[in-house]
Amino acid sequence: MGILGDIFHKIFPGHHPANTQAPAGGTAAPAPSAPQAAPAPAPQAQAPAGGAAAAPAAQQVDVEQVLTNMQAQSGQQLNWRTSIVDLLKLLNLDSSLQARKDLAAELHYSGDTNDSASMNIWLHKQVMTKLAQNGGKVPADLQD
């Protein structure tokens, strides 16, 4: 899965479905235990209109809390809420322009990758949206 997979592995626990299948919208088969899961104990978890791509609410990860905790432990002043560079740095991933261009290609960015400011803004929103689509609890203002 590439860089997005690396991001998922840093944020989601190892057993989380986002780490074992393609991101929402991908073509991976559901996890083997998913068909037997009983939906009754999750009163607020209604099936999304799009289908079974979203992770069950019981496996939802509070992305904001995870990243806030990581930042507190790192001791660095990183603006991960708006900067893809700082988000990648916080996750100890390559934040170079080439790495961001690779992530843009992975996420099918159709803009000019030489306009790094526009690409970076788009990348940050896309990464947050992908985290949300794959079982992350991400504040709406970080997605769009």
Give the per-residue pLDDT at 96.
98
107 pLDDT higher than 70: yes
- Give 61's strand partners: 136
pLDDT tens per residue across span 10-56: 999 877 777 776 555 443 333 333 333 333 333 333 434 444 444 44
Q: Please provide residue 128's backbone torsions phi and psi, each rounded to the nearest 5 degrees.
A: -65, -40
Cα separation of 3 and 75, whole Å? Answer: 24
Give the per-residue pLDDT at 18.
74
- 34, 21 Cβ separation under 8 angstroms: no
Give the per-residue pLDDT at 22.
55
Give the per-residue pLDDT at 17.
77
